[in-house]
Structure 1
Amino acid sequence: MLEKTDRALSALNRWVLIGLLTAMVCIIFANVALRYLTDHSITWAEEVARYLMVWMTFLGVGLTLRRGGHVAITALPDALGPRAAMMLRGAVALLLLGFAALMVKIGADYMGRMGRQLTPATRISFWWIYLAMPAGFALFVTHLALTIISYLRSGRFETVEGSAAPRGLA
């Protein structure tokens, strides 16, 4: 059941990222084409594309972790014995969880403070833009929690397809 939930969450996360990237590319392409073909551009295009990029960044951090896409420093755990390496990975995992929890709190606080302001072109609340931070880091915690046992044992975050990502401390 947990593996099925894990696969569904990862697939949904991946498809949301694909949708955000597709929307961003279409908006930018349409804006550039209109600018060159008609000498007019879409007034909200750059703003919306920027906010889509923000959302992609925060929602993608968990999947990037699982695929081994973050900077990895493996010299120290490779030099340690298996038990010491596992303890070091445990400390790293706790630091990652603590940082992510702090970012969820900071993001929620920031949403509350800045949410009354409106974006310049689309006039939507910045609350929706800043929601990306706590949502993305909460999703990061979920991805980390679903792969932490594999990481502690082998230094690898399992990918959705079942293969292991490159070794590292993420």
Structure 2
Amino acid sequence: MQDRTGPLARFVTGYVWLVRTLAGVSMLLIVAIMLAQVFWRYILGGSLIWAEELCRYLLIWQTFLVLGLAFSKGEFVALEFVPSLLNPRLRWLLKAVMAVPIVVFLGLMAWYGWDFASRFDRQTIPALDFIWTALSGEALGLSIRWVYVSVTVGLALLALHVLADLAVSFRRQVVDNLEDTASDADRTSAGTT
């Protein structure tokens, strides 16, 4: 039986827990901010001018963080007609061939996303500046780059998920081949006795 508590398995478990926790916290914040906005607008007759902007930024980060998990769980749209016609070895080969342009595209998009984000170092996030100024008397000054860098982080994580899926399916293919070879050897030895 395989040991599923090795360092890589613990790392993956921690990574999945962290991403799910961040996604849950961001969704909780979005709901709380929007409920506060509704309360302020319809009960108090005012408006939280920063609420929509902050929720938008939280949703952008949440989306890019969970892309990789969605891919790993098979929640992307997939056309399985051709792969379902192939034997397992050819199916893995097709998956490997298709992974190359996908990873290259994700890498290029992550690179250009980083380049795009770096152009906004001096622009700050207005919603956070407004909130922080109201609380402390001075602007926070957090660069809007940290909103745009979500593209780079999300696409890099998605590329890692694609590569990890390829490695896991290759390992599964090798294990299945070894089991088939062992069962063939067992049948052959059973037939000769």
1:14-163 to structure 2, matched below 5 A, reads 14-123=20-129, 124-152=142-170
Query: Partners of 1:86 and 1:80 in 2: how far apart?
Result: 9
Structure 2: any 5+ residue segments left out of the alignment?
A: 1-6, 130-141, 174-193
Partner secondary structure for residue 117 of structure 1: coil
Post-superposition offset of 1:154: 6.7
TM-score (norm 2): 0.73
Query: Partners of 1:148 and 1:132 in 2: how far apart?
Result: 24
Partner secondary structure for residue 77 of structure 1: helix
Alpha-carbon displacement from aligned partner over 1:96-140 (angstroms, at most 9, x marks no partner): 221221121011101111332234443442201101111112222
1:94 partner amino acid: V
Partner secondary structure for residue 48 of structure 2: coil
Tell me, yes or no, if the aligned pair for 1:86 and 1:153 is still in contact at 8 Å: no
Higher relative contact order by CA 8 Å / sep ≥ 6: 1 or 2? 1
Partner secondary structure for residue 46 of structure 2: coil
TM-score (norm 1): 0.82
Tell me, yes or no, if the aligned pair for 1:86 and 1:152 is still in contact at 8 Å: yes
Structure 1: any 5+ residue segments left out of the alignment?
A: 156-170
Post-superposition offset of 1:153: 6.5
How many residues are aligned here?
Answer: 155
CA RMSD of aligned residues (A): 1.9
Partner secondary structure for residue 128 of structure 2: coil
